[in-house]
Amino acid sequence: MNKNNEFEPKIAAFLCTWCSYAAADLAGSSRIQYPPNIRVVRVPCTGRMDPFLIIKAFNMGADGILVSGCHPGDCHFLDGNLYARRRFVMLNEMMQYAGVEKERMNFTWCSASEGKRFAGVVEDAVNNVKKVGPWQGFDGQGFNQEEGETTVEKV
Ligand code: FES
């Protein structure tokens, strides 16, 4: 919640170090504003991401997740991003079955030169998660906001 008592989601953002992480850096150094709702987890390639990291982020109180990798054809490990995309589609369906709204799961591509696009991607992810409100956990019991704040950063 912000000072106006509006919901401000916490989003675990898994960013590929070669592209989206650099795009976030570029956005920062270019002074492009984007919402401060993401907690960045830098990954060597989205293809190296274990889908359990996403489940763990939700278990630790994240309201949503963002996975952003290199554009198709640009992955530094050839097709890691395409494997990640396939895994994400499957995981997304499983998560919906488990009660996680699709608005909480965001997947995109962003190159290192797309700082402005990255800012838009974060804005879209935040707006998507705001639509569905705070994550109440897989058991629907909710989270202690103070605990969630500190545990999400440890992901
Ligand atoms: Fe960026 Fe594979 S190296 S997604």
CATH number belonging to domain 11-152 = 3.40.50
pLDDT score recorded for residue 147: 55
Structure tokens of 7? Answer: 């919901």
Where do the structural domains in the chain lie, given as residue ranges? 11-152
**What share of the chain has pLDDT > 90, as a percent?**
84
CA of 38 to the centre of ligand 1 (A): 20
- Dump strand ranges (E) for 36-82: 38-43, 64-69
Ligand 1-lining residues (CB < 6 angstroms): 16, 18-19, 45-47, 69-70, 75-77, 80-81
Best residue for ligand 1 mutational test, from 14, 16, 21 (most atoms within 8 Å of Cβ): 16
Q: Which of 48, 75, 82, 109 to mutate to test the pocket of ligand 1 (most atoms within 8 A of CB)?
A: 75
Amino acid at 61: G
Give 36 Cα–ligand 1 centroid separation in angstroms. Answer: 24
Compute how many other C-beta atoms are within 10 angstroms of the C-beta atom of residue 102: 12
- Pair 112, 19: CB distance under 8 Å: yes
Over residues 95-101, the mean pLDDT reads 93
Probe residue for ligand 1, chosen from 77, 85, 114 as the CB with the greatest number of ligand atoms within 8 Å: 77
Amino acid code (one letter) for 3: K
CA distance 110 to 139: 34
Predicted local distance difference test score (pLDDT) of residue 152? 45
What type of residue is 13? A
The CA–CA distances, whole Å, from 141 to 69, 108, 136, 144 equal: 32, 30, 6, 10
Give the pLDDT band of residue 150 (cuts 50, 70, 90). very low
Model pLDDT, residue 141:
82
**pLDDT over 80 (residue 3):** no
Q: What is the pLDDT of residues 31-63, one digit of tens each?
A: 999 999 999 999 999 999 999 999 999 999 999
Residue 4, pLDDT score:
75
Tell me the C-alpha distance between 1 and 10, whole Å: 10
What integer pLDDT is reported at residue 144 of this predicted model?
62
| pTM exceeds cut of 0.85 | yes
pLDDT, one tens digit per residue, over 65-78 is: 999 999 999 999 99
What pLDDT is recorded for position 17? 97
Q: How far is the CA of 49 from the centre of ligand 1 (A)?
A: 10
Confidence of residue 154 (pLDDT cuts 50, 70, 90): very low
* Residue 31 in tokens: 């002074």
Residue 5 burial (C-beta neighbours within 10 Å; 0-12, 13-18, 19+):
exposed
For 2-85, list the strands marked E by DSSP. 11-16, 38-43, 64-69
DSSP 70: P
Averaged pLDDT of the chain: 91
